[in-house]
Structure 1
Amino acid sequence: MLDLEKFDLGDIAMALQDQTDYDYFHLVDPRTGEMGLWTRDGGIDGRNPLDLDDVDLTVIEPLPSSVWYQDMADFAAGLSDERAGERLSRALSGKGAFRRFKNELHDRYPHLVPVWNAFSDNRAKLRAVEWLADNTLIDEGSADRFAAEHPDPGLP
């Protein structure tokens, strides 16, 4: 296991959010914490295709979109401005919720954009640390300490 500081939590969080497709996967080296990218056509180096089973790297499979959706719902529910919370909650109904939430936030409540960014970044990093612990790349104690030191930021 490595120290938590060896990992780029922002990169791991981005990989956990990446819902693009399965022609590529983000990887992490359990010996160094370095990130890599595997593509179906180019392997790891971009030139030599290889099977993912043939590498000594840990694949970061994206978390379901429902996990990230819940962050938006929690943010909207936690706002003290009831009108903003209701409008953002309504934006989450049906297909296209991510786009509508973002548009509503940026168009009607630009002052909440930095608050949302801090909230969602914190949640993403917490998930990255949880993923590292679940994959035994860091110890549970490190994950617990990180979680205790990084509660959700307060919402206005």
Structure 2
Amino acid sequence: MLPLEAIDLDTLVTALENHFMDYDTFFWLDPSTGRIELWGEEAADEAEAEGWDLDDRGGVRIEAVDSSEGYRDMEDFIAGVEEPRCRDRLQSAINHSSPFRHFKDALYSFPEQQTAWYEYHDGVMKQRAIRWLADEGLVDPGEADAAIVQLREAR
């Protein structure tokens, strides 16, 4: 198991949010170092030339979180917005097609809430990343739980 500080949580969050790659291009984590790498055609060619295989290294593929989780994050955030006009506008935004785009567009009219959203989102995604690491058996569950509690208290 790796110590939690061996893993760049910001990079892991990026990997967990990455919905734009094809099946052959993905992020993976090296369980011996905690390093997160992008796997694609160039990386595969390099690995082949160096004589190693991703599976041989025990690489753990990082799958993007389901968009339904991101949608729930927006709903949870909206529920905590106190200003009725902002809350109504954000709720209306996620009830359209392309809810993520409409949500971000609606936030631009409310700069304070925009900042609050990004702070909220960052905290939620870091918690999700830490939970993923524990679920994959890459970090100690007790260390993960303590880190998640610390993130929640920081909000």
Give the TM-score normalised by the residue count of structure 1.
0.88
CA distance in 1, matches of 2:140, 2:82: 37
Cα offset, 1:150, TM superposition = 1.1
Q: Which amino acid aligns with 1:90?
A: S
Partner of 2:33: 32
Partner of 1:114: 115
Q: Kindly tell me: are residues 12 and 146 of structure 1, through their superposed partners in 2, closer, same or farther at Cα, counting changes over 3 Å? A: same
Partner of 2:134: 133
Alignment of 1:64-79 (within 5 A): 64-79=66-81
Runs of 5+ unmatched residues, structure 1: none
Partner of 2:7: 7
Cα offset, 1:132, TM superposition = 0.2
Which has more helix, going by share of residues? Answer: 2
Q: What's the secondary structure of 1:151's corresponding residue?
A: helix
- The answer on whether the counterparts of 1:43 and 1:51 sit within 8 Å (CA) in structure 2 is no
Partner of 1:20: 20
Partner of 1:89: 91
CA distance in 1, matches of 2:82, 2:18: 31
Q: What's the secondary structure of 2:42's corresponding residue?
A: coil
Runs of 5+ unmatched residues, structure 2: none
Q: Kindly tell me: are residues 81 and 102 of structure 1, through their superposed partners in 2, closer, same or farther at Cα, counting changes over 3 Å? A: same
- The answer on whether the counterparts of 2:94 and 2:103 sit within 8 Å (CA) in structure 1 is yes
Cα offset, 1:85, TM superposition = 1.0
C-alpha RMSD of the superposition:
2.1
CA distance in 2, matches of 1:56, 1:149: 30
Q: Any idea what the Cα deviations from partners look like across 1:82-103, whole Å, max 9, x if unmatched?
A: 2211110110013210000000
- The answer on whether the counterparts of 2:73 and 2:121 sit within 8 Å (CA) in structure 1 is yes
Q: Any idea what the Cα deviations from partners look like across 1:44-86, whole Å, max 9, x if unmatched?
A: 4658599754542111011101111111111111111122111
CA distance in 2, matches of 1:144, 1:54: 30
**Which deviates further from its counterpart, 46-55 or 141-150?**
46-55
Q: Any idea what the Cα deviations from partners look like across 1:5-41, whole Å, max 9, x if unmatched?
A: 00011111111111113231101110111111111x3
